[in-house]
Structure formats: C-alpha cells, structure tokens
Amino acid sequence: MKRLIKLILFLLITSLVLTNCGPSEESSLPAPLVEKTSVPDVEKTARAFFNAWESEDHSSMYAALSESKRAKMTEEDFKSAYENFSYSMTLQSVKIDILSIMTNPTTATVSYSANFKTALFGEFGREMEMNWILEDSGWKLDWDNGVILPELSGGYILALDIKKPARGNIYDRSGEPIVEQARAWALGITPGQIEDGKEGLLLFHLSELTGRTRESIQASYEDAGPTWYIPVGEASAEAVAEKWNIITGLGGIVLSEFESRYYYNGGIAPQVIGYTLGISGDQMYEYQRQGYLGDEKIGQAGLEKYAEEALAGKPEAKLYVVDSSGQIISHVTSADPRPAQSITTTLDSQLQIESQKAILGFRGAVVVMEVESGRILAMVSSPGFDPNLFEPDNRNSIELLDTMLSDGQKRLWNRATQSAYPLGSVFKIITIAAALESDLYTPDSTYYCGHYFEELPGEKFTDWTVAKELPPSGNLTLPLGLVRSCNPWFYHLGLDLFRQKGATWISDMARGFGLGSATGIEQVAEDAGSIPDPATDGDAVQQGIGQGQMLVTPLQVVRFIAAIANGGTLFRPQVIDNMITSTGTTVYSFKPEPQGTLPIQPQNLEVIQTAMRNVVKYDVGTAHDELSGLNIPMYGKTGTAQNPIGDPHAWFAGYTQTAREDKPDIAVVVLVENGGEGSEVAAPIFRRIIEVYYFGGPLKIYPWESSFNVTRTPTLKYTLTPTETPYREPTKEETPTPSG
C-alpha cells in the first residue's frame, strides 16, 4: 500500500513537472519589439568635413569638432589655425580622398590623403589619420593639428621663410628707364626764400629737372605765402647730383630725398605703365596665399598690374615646422626662386613725353602706332598724373595726392582705351568704303553738296560750311566728298545704303574695320565700344556722318587707320617689346600679330588712300591749312563729333608714308574732348607729333600758344637767365624727301 501511494505521488509530481516544462499559452505569442539605436555613417560625416575644408568653410568644420575640443578652442582660433596654415603653405587648393575607415561601437579612424596645391611649392601630398568619437548620437572629430598635416601633431605650426627678388624695371624701346627702384628727390619751393635776381635761374633748373614749364611752376606759388612749401615735382638722384652745386646755392629750393619705385619725368605714359601701392587690408590674405609677405607694393593698374607676376618674380622659400617658441623642429619643403623680369616697352620715351605736352591743357587722348607692326609708340591720356605721388615717403605726396585724385578730371582713367566717343566725320572713311563695296557707287559717282540735306520729309540737316559762312562745295565725286568732308553727301549715303542694302550694311563694314569690339591689346584695360544698327531713316542719316549711338575708342581708330596705311591688315596693338629676367633670359619677344583684313577690295582701298592724301595735300582739303609745309607725305581725316554735353569732340586721324628705314611709318589719332573743330584743334596736335617724330621737336607754335607748350595766358614775370636758344628749323639734309 505504501508502495502504491509512493507511485501515485511520483506520477503526479512528474505530470506537474512535464506540464510546466511544455509550451505555454503565453510562449506562443509574438516576441515584443525592441527599439534599436542606429549608428550614423562616419564616412558621410568625414566627407562633409573634407568638403568644407576644400571650400574653406571653417564654420562647418568647427561645428564637427567634439564638445571637449570646442571647449578648449574657440571658432576664431580654429579658423586662424587653418588660415595660418594656408598662408604658410601659400595654399591655392586642397583635394582630399578617403582611403579607409575602421569603426568600433563608439570610435572610428578615417585614413585619408590630402593633395596640396601651393603657389610657391607646387603640389605635394600627405597620408593622414583622424579620430572620430560617437557623441550625442553623432560622430564628432577628436581634432588636433595633425589633422591638417602630420608633422604638426603635438601643437606644432608652420613657418615660412622668404627671400624676395627685386621688382623688375620698365624701359622704353631703346632701354631708357621709365620706372625702376631708385633714390629720388622731392623738389619744392619756399617762395619767401627766393633770392632777388635768381628766380629765373631757379625756375630754369627746376623745369629741366621735373619737365614742367617755368610758367606753370611760377604760377603754382604766385598766390602762396612766403613760408609755404610749394611742391614742384620729383627728380632722380642722378639728375639732382648733376646740378647739385648749382641748385643748392639757390635760395628757395627745398630738397627731400626718398627711396622708391621711381617713375621718371613725373610719369611717362602713366595710364599705360600704371602704378604700385602697398597691399591693402582686404587684399592681404589673398596675396599672402600667393607667397607675398604683405609689405610689398603690387601693381594696381596698367603694365604694373598686367605683369605683376613677371615683375615681382618668385621668391626663394623654405617651409619649416616650429614649436611655440619659434624653434625649428623639421624642414617640410623648399622652393627655388624665379628671377623677376624687366619689361622693355614699345614706347618711345621722347615721343611719349612730347605727345603728353602736345595735348597738355586738354582732356583727350593721343595714340601713335607703327603701321606695319601694331607697336604702340605713344599712348597719351590727358590730363595725366604723377605715379610718384602714391609713394608715402615722397614729401610731395602729402601735398598733392588728394588733390590729384579728387579734382574731377579722372586722371587715372585711360581715355585712349577705356573711353568711347562718337567718331564724327572720321567715320566717313567707313561710309565711303561701304558705298564703294555696295556696287551702287563708283569713284566717279557725284552728288551736289549744298548747305542743307533735305531728303527726309520735314527734316533739314546742315553742312559745316554754313557755320563757317562758306559757299556750298557744289558737285563732288565720292572721293572729293571725303576730301571736302561734305555732310550732305554722307547723309545721302547713309540713307541710301540703309534703304537699298539693309540696316547692317554700314554697321558690318564698321565692324570689319574693328569697331564695336575690343582690339585685344590685353596689356591695358579697354572698352569695346558699340556699333548699333540703325533702326530708322533718321538713324541711318546720322550713321553716315559718324553720329548717333556709335561709340569707339581712339585705340580702335588708330588700328584701322594703320590698316588703311599698310594695305588692309589689322594688327593687334601691343605695348610690350620684350620681357627679360635678371639673369638675361628672354621670356617674351614681340611678334606682329595680324588679326584680320579690312573687308574692302584693293582698288577701293586705293581710292580711300588717295582721298586721305588729298585731305592734306590740296587747299580744298579740311586739313591742308594746318598740315602743309612739312614736306612729309601725310594722309588724314578731320572729325568734329557732336555730343549731348558741351562742345563737339575734335578728332584727327592720319598716317605718314615716307618709307624710311630709320623711321617706320606711323598712324596717329588725336581726340580732344569738347575741343570743337577737328581741323582747328586736333589737326595741329597731330602736326606737332609728326614734327617731334621726324624732326626731334616742335617746329610750329599752336594758335593758342605763346611759346611751345605754354598757352597765351601765362607770362613770365622775370628775365630768364641764362638765355635759351630757340628751336631751330631742320636743315635740308634733315628733311625727308617725299615718296608720294
């Protein structure tokens, strides 16, 4: 019985155990969902940091730093670390590629390569690692200096050591200096200290040293107090040394020496050559990234700016890793120097200086170009400026710089290339070309040139002979219409060609002559101008005589005038003859660059050439009175361009044909803003330039001068001592024989 009870208990207990061990109702239900925390993509985070580095987005880079790193370094300090690195490296760009990634639950290591492109050291690269930590459900950078460059781990920084070459000089075509690093003297006058009887001698020597006229120097202190300092100009140390014993013995003169990038003669072609200034605050970072220390002077305009890289050269440079005390830890890389280059221009200094004097007192421009090459021998924008006044150590800068920049004359602007004007009657050259190429007109075509043009109903246009109270020119052939500059003839051509050949006929001819587009000079800034197509009969009439909405630069005009002279080739204007390093290596040498051909047949070009010759040669020509008697074969066209404000602009455009080997033939364009009649103002200036080029100096006084380069108004108030020898007429042997 006991055994039975034990068996029953055993079976009962076993049953209960088996029941508890089997599947339950609860265990058959789905397991509860457990939310898993996703780990962000470290590669995406690292790539975003590298993209920000490549684009110099330092704020985004700083935001990627871990909390502990941001607590130790401000955003400004972080930004400075990268900027100082970029400056020391002369970094231009950085390109970063991810090589590999190792990730643990809360940390990651990213291996990457960085390729640095630098201004001084070329390109080089490094392979590096950076550590990331998981923080606030995102990857944050455990940053140190080694992230920038492995050599900087431990808080080291870069140091750049530079040895700068001397800036290159600029010369004229014969090697005479236009600008170079030199000692110079600022010259001035204290009026009350001028000794009795020596004023004439003082002004004579100051004029020779500075290039200013005696009259203008005297006028500058006429109303000054006796103790005032009156600035006169600058002179090279060599020039002053030659006169030292004389000028230091004269009372009233004040001399102040300075070291400078010295611009001779108060600025020879200053708008072409340009000027230098110290690097400004907003330019500092940009130029330091290029390898500049920051204390240099850089070109701000003209050739100084265009050729900055060549003139400045490349310094010898070494890059070091240093500790916080400046102690060198290691050498990173080096760069060999590149010698600075000096520029020899195409400019003729004497011609340039005399051309500046020739247009002195006017606003305007003069351009002189060799007809067979495109070389610019002179380029004048008036009024000019003295680049030496940008030198703070020049005493005269304090007195004159602000006045020069604020007198409203736009002296820094190059009117020869950057200002565009209506061309006036010089455009008739293009109108006659369009007529001859149209097959509607021949050289024998005639038109009655009366006082008025009345082919448009209700409109009455006037010929220039009305204002001059001259009789009408009468029946004129097409070439004689150009010689006489008959407005009605060219009003008619503008209208007839518009109606019969279309709105673009004359405009396309003008564009073929190079108007309405940049000449490609590149070495100085230029405006493209514009040649719009006429929309109405009235527009077409105005276009025929070079009026309306057209705008051209003097440089564009001299280029097509030279093309007429050479048989039709448009050359690219150039002002650089060669560029040579300080070691004597020629880096660049001038080559004529044909750009195109005038769209005109040879026989029609010859008609225009003959007509331009007769503008000067015959007494019916509009330039005969001003240009006769030189025994130089000259070709030209006068122009008087109306404009909405003030008097008309005066133009003269022409060229020579002497075929002399020692004096290449030249094209010359003169533009005088609001100067009035081209024949009365621009043509005499053209003549002066021809005189200087062929005879070495002026021969004929302008109608408005009392003596060469002196207007009638100023008069000297002293007897000049010593007496100067007046300019002599050239001898027969010096006078070229006409070739046609």
pLDDT in tens, 83-141: 999 999 999 999 999 999 999 889 999 999 999 999 999 999 999 999 999 998 899 99
pLDDT above 70 coverage of the chain, percent: 91
- Average pLDDT for 628-642: 95
Give the three-class secondary structure for 604. Answer: helix
Name the pLDDT band for 540 (thresholds 50, 70, 90): very high
User: Residue 38 has what pLDDT?
Assistant: 62
Name the pLDDT band for 79 (thresholds 50, 70, 90): very high
User: Residue 404 has what pLDDT?
Assistant: 92
Q: What is the pLDDT of residues 246-265, one digit of tens each?
A: 999 899 999 999 999 999 99
Q: List, as one string, the DSSP characters of 467-530.
A: HTT----EEEEHHHHHHHT-HHHHHHHHHHHHHHH-TTHHHHHHHHTTTTS-----SS-----B
Residue 36 has pLDDT above 60, yes or no: no
Tell me which of 270 and 714 has the higher pLDDT.
270
Q: What is the pLDDT of residues 566-613, one digit of tens each?
A: 999 999 999 999 999 988 999 999 999 999 999 999 999 999 999 999
Could you count the other beta carbons within 10 Å of the beta carbon of residue 599? 14
- Average pLDDT for 177-196: 96
Contact between 173 and 346 under an 8 Å Cβ cutoff? The reply is: yes
Q: What is the pLDDT of residues 495-517, one digit of tens each?
A: 999 999 999 999 999 999 999 99
Mean pLDDT of all residues in the chain?
91
CA dihedral 9, 13, 18, 24 (to 10 degrees): 130
Lowest mean pLDDT among 12-26, 538-552, 623-637, 660-674: 12-26
User: Residue 728 has what pLDDT?
Assistant: 34
Residue 279 has pLDDT above 90, yes or no: yes
User: Residue 644 has what pLDDT?
Assistant: 82
Q: What is the pLDDT of residues 694-707, one digit of tens each?
A: 999 999 999 999 88
User: Residue 31 has what pLDDT?
Assistant: 52
Lowest mean pLDDT among 26-30, 244-248, 426-430, 566-570: 26-30
Q: What is the pLDDT of residues 262-272, one digit of tens each?
A: 999 999 999 99
Contact between 91 and 55 under an 8 Å Cβ cutoff? The reply is: no
Cα separation, 693 vs 616, in Å, equals 18
Alpha helices by DSSP H, listed for 42-165, are 42-54, 58-63, 67-72, 75-89
Residue 715 has pLDDT above 80, yes or no: no
What is the rounded end-to-end Cα distance, in angstroms, of the chain? 160
Tell me which of 730 and 232 has the higher pLDDT.
232
> For the chain, which domains are there?
42-155 (3.10.450.100), 276-345 (no CATH), 421-711 (3.40.710.10)
User: Residue 643 has what pLDDT?
Assistant: 86
Q: What is the pLDDT of residues 414-424, one digit of tens each?
A: 999 999 999 99
Cα separation, 88 vs 321, in Å, equals 10
SS3 content of the chain, % helix, strand, coil (to 5): 35, 25, 40
> What b/e string do you get for 697-706 counting C-beta neighbours within 10 Å, with b at 16 or more?
ebbebbeebe
User: Residue 720 has what pLDDT?
Assistant: 38
Contact between 151 and 321 under an 8 Å Cβ cutoff? The reply is: yes
